[in-house]
Amino acid sequence: MEQLTIKKFHQGLTEKKFKVEEIVTDYYRKIEEKDVQIGAYLSLNKTDAISQAKKVDKDLADGQKLNILAGAPLAIKDNISIEGEPATAASKILKNYRAVYDATVIKKLKNLEAVFLGKTNLDEFAMGSSTEKSGFKIAHNPADLERVPGGSSGGSAAATAADLCLAALGSDTGGSIRQPASFCGVVGLKPTYGAVSRFGLIAMASSLDQIGPIAKTVEDAEILFDIIKGKDSSDATSVKIPVKKQSVDFQPGTIGIPKEYFEAGGLSKEVGRAMDEVIKNLKDLKFKIKEISLSHTKYAVACYYIIMPAEASTNLARYDGLRYASNLKSETGKLKLLDLYLKQRGEGFGPEVKRRIILGTFVLSSGYYDAYYLKAQKVRRLIKEDFEKAFGGVDAILTPVSPTTAFKIGEKTTDPLSMYLSDIFTIPVNLAGLPAISIPVKPVKNLPIGFQLIGKPFCEKEILAIGKKYEQK
């Protein structure tokens, strides 16, 4: 059977071609069959999913009109809270924790009667680009099981690509939605900073994190984005999106090609060729292509790997090993408090998380603050201004998502810096707080490749419109 999208699922449901329960049961059958190898899910929520499915089936039988998301089986990254469900962020330190409330995005999806199949795998606390750094299990790329699905939302991207869900939610701090979407051959949207509430997202770097959809089509990504976006009183950084920016009549405009991204060392031949093909297709669609310069791009990775660990070291200070269901009763009598903290955090966090907390503590420490953290904040402004200048002359910016296709499992685990550098094309977008979408092109040697469209702040609709046009071609 052809893979279902949110749109097709809704049509099929309203035309009574199938019941929600059948589709949900079928997804669980596929998960049981395939996910042993892929490792996309960390936990499943069969009981609630089936009962929610039955409820929607009954509503439909009773003649109620269904909204677009009713009964839609979705997968949720395990750093997003669903009340009563595990929310481990793939960390052993949260192994026994169950979320005590719904994230705002979850509340919005629940209001529309979506079904949650389960929680998906990620790099621990969303720190990584391969989902190899999960505290529980490695995730694999459905296109080639020896390769990584990307990360940190690798589980959500792999589940969507392998059709183990209709669509998914992920989070993106430096590329964690777009890069796995590109590696797995699905669509991923990182909204403008502030477009979607982060309430209920386990925080990594608060000035960079955003929740967004991973889907099989641009249209599905847009459906989910329209539902989850909006101002939320529980997230002071969320904003009301200006109405005039909410819908766009499609008109081909000018797309900027930043020369620094294409001159960067490490851009593989396959990805380079795929980008040429995308440019050709966009020209066919009557877009004007214009070379632009984002001259501070080369500083982005260094800037990001100072700011992000600084914020993460602060955010992760709350995990003391005593709260969040840490099952410690037997230990509490034996150790002094400080020793208990040291032990719990030393054992509960994985190597990448520890490295980033310590790096963050260093760049914030007295004597180094100005040279690293303050400097990085200033460079961050330069990077943002690069984009502002560029958007004076173009409507959107086209870049690759990642310099290469999905790499082999184990290929980059021994050298953290090489892993960090693979995020060069996605990181600047987070530093500047912009929206960007990753859209798949035709796979090369069976390995998916994506291109990235970066938009002006709160102009998701524009990049989605270009994406839809591209998709229809």
Partner 1 sequence: MSKLIDKKTLEYLAGLSRIKLGENEEKQILKDLQKILDYFNLLKEADVSKIEPLAGGTIETNVLREDEKNERKEKERGKLIDSFSDKQDDFLKIPPVF
Site for partner 1 in 328-387 (CB under 8 A): 328-329, 331-338, 340-343, 345-347, 349, 351, 354-355, 357-359, 361-362, 365, 372, 374-382, 384
Q: Return the residues of window 419-458 that contact partner 1 according to CB under 8 A.
A: 420, 433, 457
**For residue 215, with 0-12 CB atoms within 10 Å meaning exposed, 13-18 middle and 19 or more buried, which class applies?**
buried
Q: Return the residues of window 75-104 that contact partner 1 according to CB under 8 A.
A: 97-98, 100-101
**Residue number with CB closer to partner 1 (18 or 101):** 101
Q: From residue 198 to residue 217, what is the string marking binding to partner 1 with x (rule CB under 8 A)?
A: --------xxx---------
* Distance (Å) of CA 44 to CA 32, 193, 401, 417: 10, 30, 30, 34
**Residue number with CB closer to partner 1 (272 or 346):** 346
Closest by CA position to 69, among listed 101, 111, 118, 105: 111
Q: Which of 81, 152, 402, 438 is catalytic?
A: 152
Decide if 91 is catalytic: no
How many residues touch partner 1 under the rule CB under 8 A: the total is 76
**325 counts as binding partner 1 under rule CB under 8 A:** yes
Angle at 451 between CA 188 and CA 402, to 5 degrees: 90
**264 counts as binding partner 1 under rule CB under 8 A:** no
Asked whether the beta carbons of 171 and 426 are under 8 A apart, the reply is no
Q: What is the dihedral of CA 16, 18, 21, 27, to 10 degrees?
A: -150
Strand partners, 469: none
Q: Return the residues of window 274-303 that contact partner 1 according to CB under 8 A.
A: 296, 298-299, 301-303
Decide if 176 is catalytic: yes
Burial 410-445 (b: 16+ CB within 10 A, else e): ebbbeebeebbbbbbbbbbbbbbbbbbbbbbbeebe
Asked whether the beta carbons of 195 and 241 are under 8 A apart, the reply is yes
**Residue number with CB closer to partner 1 (104 or 405):** 104
Q: From residue 17 to residue 56, what is the string marking binding to partner 1 with x (rule CB under 8 A)?
A: ----------------------------------------
**Residue number with CB closer to partner 1 (98 or 468):** 98
* Distance (Å) of CA 355 to CA 48, 281, 363: 38, 43, 12
Residue 168 corresponds to which amino acid? A
Extract the tokens encoding 393.
């002359």
Decide if 8 is catalytic: no
The stretch among 10-18, 43-51, 121-129, 321-329 that binds partner 1 (CB under 8 A) is 321-329
CB of 9 to partner 1, least distance (A): 32
Q: Which of 77, 107, 216, 412 is catalytic?
A: 77
Which residues are identified as catalytic?
77, 152, 176
